[in-house]
Amino acid sequence: MSAIMEVEEDGSVGNEVTDDQVGGEDGNVNCDVEEEDATSMPDQQNLQEDDLRVFHVLDEYVYSDVEKCDTANSSDSDISDNEIEAMLEEGLEKDATKTVETKLNGDGAKPVQYKEHKVVTLEELGYNHFDLLPESWVQITHKSGMPLYLHKPTRVCTFSRPYYLGQARARKHAVPLSAIPCLQYRKALEEEKASMQENAKETDLNGLRTAKIETAEENKASQSLGPFAIQQYCKSLFRFKTSSRLRFVSWSDRRRFVKAKRIEKQQRPTFPDDTKLIKFPIQNPEDGPDAKPRGEWIMNPNGKSYICILHEYVQHALKKQPTYEFKALENPATPYSATVIINGMRYGYGTGTSKKQAKLAAARASLEILIPEMREKIRNDKKQGTKTSGYSEEDEASLSIFDEIKIQDPRVAEFCAKTTEPSPYSILLTCLQRNFDTKEMPIDYKMNALHRQTNEFIMTVGSHVARVVCKNKKEGKQRASQAILQVLHPHITSWGSLLRLYGNRSTRNVKEKKQEEQEITMLQSKASLNSPNYAILDKLKTEMMKLHKEKTEKKPIGIFIPPEDVSLPTSGTQLNKIEL
């Protein structure tokens, strides 16, 4: 069992020695150690050496059974393995062959010399008397002891017992058990063991063994294997793969199918079926939202990261360059956050253990907003091991209802009220608070009466003006807010993308943090005169338990101190003794 160790940082001496730190004969740095300085502070040196010999054990490595066997079988012998094997083989050959001299026909007869060899043969079990070898096939014993079958005219050999097929079908016939020697021998051993137990019982009762009568049909049923039985046995030894094949009812159907395939191959080549292309119009920032696009850009997202797709989309479609705003968080699990900013507007937000992961999560969230069709690719992307988006599957299911609804759809306000989502006017206020100053972007609106019980609602937000026809002021306020939001986000088409930007889920973390701060502030009012505030003490205890739990998860499992006779790698120089 070995340990992964970590040395405590004391800021004085390092454990790595480099060429720049150790001065040689040709070096420019002289490392002169004075005896007076070495003897002046012995306690400090001893303290540093003691600190360097203390290691924190972070994790344990358990040896596997194979490694344990290799370690146990290793020896310190000076004799090589090849010499040991040669000695063993030499002794084996001497014992295996013996020269014997014997005298025959009396004392005066000439002695006969011969050599005695040990022959190993397979013990025959389960011989099938109904199974005969085909013509010109003979059975011989191989030097290994296994039976070998030889075809004399062609000199073809096989270890499996051949059999005559006759008029049976080659693909669907029943295979004799003797054709698979390993399976036949295994079953013969099982039958022998069972028969020995039965014979012991019958001998004790009658004193005689019973005779068995077997017909050809019974032998064929017991000594033949079907396709399923062979497959089940071979699955334990071999690997199989399943493929699909077409079976036609008639030859005409087969000819029509082959003809259609031939015509399909003769057509021009196309992309694979799983190819996905992103197609978006190219706009000029100087043109209005209703202007005709100048062109069309096609992008293949396969094999590209979310950051690459986002940059390519923004640069070609919006003629802008996305920027990222990074912040350090107090959460130890995700200490960094990133926000994508395009043309002064904040879009995707993501967190991660590093700035790179936070940037990737923010780019992914921005793609879900800018290109709603990308959500299917992101959801099915198996390369992302963890879910970096801030929304759960339930949130995605509820927001997917609004993905097919346009921003200026008149039903948006009704749907938001039924699904407890913020109204378009609330979304507009949240957008202005996050991206603009409320003093620079004031909201003014007025309503003019028209004929036939209709009104014109006019909303002005900074330099943007929206005019809508409505029945009452409430409806006009919501629809005008939708029009202003469309002007502020010209490249967003669905209301679901705006909910991901400014909906309830985007402000959930901020509200929870403010709620915790308000709870702590409200605890101050529960204090009484000349007595401790137990409410604040309980809250402090809870927070300290959380902090203790976080530190316990990172706490080492033990401390390792090497023996004194073991030398540790230390630096060849001391920074306080270098003379420049």
Give the CATH number for residue 138.
2.20.70.10
- 3-class secondary structure, 101: strand
Q: Are 340 and 310 in contact (CB under 8 A)?
A: yes
Helix (H) or strand (E) holding 4, with range, is strand 2-7
CA angle 288, 292, 296 (to 5 degrees): 115
pLDDT score of 359 more than 80? yes
Is there a domain that residue 74 lies in? no
| Per-residue pLDDT, 12 | 41
Domain end residue (candidates: 453, 488, 512): 512
Residue 201 lies in a domain: yes
- Specify whether the CB–CB gap between 301 and 280 falls below 8 A: no
pLDDT tens sequence across 453-469:
888 999 998 888 999 99
Establish if 573 belongs to a structural domain: yes
Number of domains in the chain: 4
Question: In 3D, which of 510, 447, 450, 516 has the Cα closest to residue 476?
Answer: 447
Q: Residue 409 corresponds to which amino acid?
A: D
- Which among 347, 329, 351 has a CA at the least distance from the CA of 338? 351
The pair phi, psi for residue 2, each rounded to 5°, is: -110, 165
Q: Tell whether 416 and 453 lie within a shared domain.
A: yes
The dihedral through the CA atoms of 36, 40, 43, 49 has a sign that is negative
pLDDT given at position 149: 92
To the nearest whole percent, how much of the chain has pLDDT over 70?
A: 67
Indicate whether 323 and 411 sit together in one domain: no
Angle at 133 between CA 128 and CA 135, to 5 degrees: 160
Provide the 3-class DSSP secondary structure of residue 560: strand
Residue type, 275: T
- Residues 332, 547: Cα–Cα separation, whole Å: 11
Q: Closest by alpha carbon to 485, among 455, 450, 441, 439?
A: 441
Q: Is residue 89 part of a domain?
A: no
3 state DSSP class of 460: strand
Are the beta carbons of 423 and 416 closer than 8 angstroms? yes
Which H or E run includes 429? helix 424-435
**Within a domain: residue 348?**
yes
Burial class (CB in 10 A: 0-12, 13-18, 19+), 466: buried
Interatomic CA distance for residues 579 and 443, integer angstroms: 71
376 and 410 both lie in a single domain: no
Q: What is the rounded average pLDDT of the residues 194-208?
A: 68
Q: How many CB atoms lie within 10 A of CB 348?
A: 28
Residue 1 has pLDDT above 60, yes or no: no
Give 413-443 pLDDT, tens digit per residue.
888 877 778 889 999 988 888 888 767 778 8
| pLDDT above 90 coverage of the chain, percent | 9
Q: Is the pLDDT of residue 321 over 70?
A: yes
Higher pLDDT, 13 or 210: 210
Q: Is residue 68 part of a domain?
A: no
**Boundary (domain end) residue, out of 512, 527, 548:** 512
Nearest to 338 by CA among 312, 330, 348: 348
pLDDT value of position 92: 58
Place of tokens 């293949």: 300
pLDDT at residue 67 greater than cutoff 60: no
362 and 294 in one domain? Answer: yes
CATH of the domain at 468: 3.30.160.20
Least confident of 41-55, 223-237, 244-258: 41-55
Residue 410 and residue 386 in one domain = no
Q: Looking at mean pLDDT, say which of 59-68, 75-84, 562-571 comes out highest.
A: 562-571
Alpha-carbon span 294 to 283, nearest angstrom: 6
pLDDT tens string 507-563: 665 666 667 777 777 776 666 667 788 888 888 888 899 888 877 776 666 777 778
Query: Is 379 in contact with 370 (CB distance < 8 Å)?
Result: no
Residue 226 lies in a domain: no
Fill in the amino acid letter for 435: N
| Under 8 Å between Cβ of 501 and 434 | no
Among 128-132, 286-290, 471-475, 504-508, name the most confident range: 471-475
- pLDDT above 70 (res 45): no
Query: 3-state SS of the chain: helix, strand, coil percent to 5?
Result: 40, 15, 40
Neighbours of 502 (CB within 10 A): 23
Give the per-residue pLDDT at 325. Answer: 92
Does the pLDDT of residue 189 top 60, yes or no? yes
Query: How many angstroms separate the CA atoms of 89 and 294, rounded?
Result: 87
pLDDT tens string 81-106:
777 777 776 665 555 545 555 555 55
Please, how many CA atoms are within 13 Å of residue 363, restricted to the half-sphere of its CB? 21
Is the same domain home to 377 and 476? no
Region of 226 (left: φ > 0; alpha: ψ -120 to 50; beta: rest) is beta
For helices 473-488 and 424-435, give the axis angle rounded to 10 degrees. 40
Residue spans of alpha helices (H) in 175-284: 181-206, 216-222, 227-235, 251-266
Give the pLDDT score at 133: 87
Domain of residue 48, residue span: 1-53+562-580
How confident is the model over 263-278, as pLDDT tens digits?
Answer: 877 765 555 566 677 7
Place of tokens 């997917």: 400
What tokens were used for 314?
């923004």
Task: Among 390, 417, 436, give the residue marking a domain's end.
Answer: 390
- Mean confidence (pLDDT) of the chain: 74
Residue 197 has pLDDT above 70, yes or no: yes
Identify whether residues 300 and 382 lie together within a single domain.
yes
Residues 285 and 379 in one domain: yes
Same domain for 508 and 412: yes
Pairwise CA distance, residues 479 & 467, whole Å: 9
Sign of the torsion angle spanned by Cα atoms 380, 385, 387, 392? positive
Of the pLDDT bands very low, low, confident and very high (cuts 50, 70, 90), residue 48 is: low
Give the pTM. 0.35
pLDDT at 172 over 90: no
| Nearest partner of 424 among 460, 473, 476, judged by Cα | 476
Least confident of 91-95, 229-233, 399-403, 538-542: 91-95
The set of residues, in sequence order, having a beta carbon less than 8 Å from that of 577 and lying 6+ positions away, is: 31, 32, 33, 34, 37
- Mean pLDDT of all residues in 6-34: 42
What is the band of 580 on the pLDDT scale with cuts at 50, 70, 90? very low
> What pLDDT does 53 receive?
72
- Residues 6 or more apart whose CB falls under 8 angstroms from that of 568 comprise 15, 52, 53, 562
Tell me: do 131 and 189 sit in the same domain.
yes
Q: Given this model, what pLDDT does residue 29 score?
A: 41
Please check whether residues 465 and 569 belong to one and the same domain: no
Beta pairing partners, 149: 139, 158
Tell me what pLDDT residue 506 has. Answer: 67
Q: Is the predicted pLDDT of residue 224 greater than 80, yes or no?
A: yes
pLDDT band (50, 70, 90) for residue 24: very low
Q: Quick one: average pLDDT of 283-308?
A: 72
Give the whole-angstrom CA distance, residue 358 versus residue 349.
8
How far is residue 456's CA from residue 507's CA, in Å, rounded to a whole number? 33
Q: Is 563 helix (H, G, I), strand (E, B) or coil?
A: coil
Residue 303 resides in a domain: yes
